[in-house]
Amino acid sequence: MAGAINIKNKAARFNYELLENFTAGISLTGTEIKSIRLNKASIKEAYCVVSNDEVFVRNMHIQEYENGSYNNHFPRRDRKLLLNRHEINKLTKKLKNQGLTIVPLKVFLTEKGWAKIEIALAKGKKTHDKRHDLKAKDDKRSMDRAQSGRY
């Protein structure tokens, strides 16, 4: 069950320079965890905010559970992240720096079946930084082709 879901935010590594990673639990309702276990969630447009000394993930889409009846959840509600006080204070202090944000990278299940989210403190990349990353990726690909003889 632990490796069954694959919910990633691939654009985050391209659009942001990741400074520090954290792993947090997510406060979910029953139908939300069932949808996540069916891989029916997306963190592509999600971001995290700190309010009242608590961290929330916003705009995370979890599709409504098909068999949820009237107990179903709202797909884009704010979900509380479960972090230690020390981690929250650290994030709050670093967010005061201009240009930093918290982006979700991956949602996964632990061995016990708990839903966790990997978040990162990040700084937005400029356009020329993104082009540099694409060029480095192309160069690496062409070197790998040349070494394997498929070029």
Domain assignment present for residue 150? The answer is: no
Tens of pLDDT, residue by residue over 70-98, are 777 777 889 999 999 999 999 999 988 77
Q: For the chain, how far is it from start to end, CA to CA, in angstroms?
A: 40
Q: Could you tell me the CATH number of the domain that includes residue 15?
A: 2.40.280.10
136 within a domain of the structure (yes/no): no
pLDDT score at 84: 94
Q: What is the pLDDT of residues 99-147, one digit of tens each?
A: 799 999 999 999 898 999 999 999 888 777 778 888 888 888 888 888 8
Of the candidates 90, 40, 45, 93, the one whose C-alpha atom is nearest the C-alpha of residue 67 is: 40
12 occurs within a structural domain = yes
Residue 55: band (very low, low, confident or very high) from pLDDT cuts 50, 70, 90: very high
In a domain, 65, yes or no: yes
Number of domains in the chain: 1
Structure tokens at 45: 């447009």
Q: H helices of 17-126, where? A: 30-37, 85-95
- Host domain of residue 103: 7-125
Alpha helices in the chain (DSSP H): 10-15, 30-37, 85-95, 127-148
Residue 132 lies in a domain: no
pTM: 0.78
Q: Does residue 121 sit within a domain?
A: yes
Q: What is the pLDDT of residue 137?
A: 84
Is the pLDDT higher at 5 or at 139? 139
In a domain, 49, yes or no: yes
Residue 131, in any domain of the structure: no
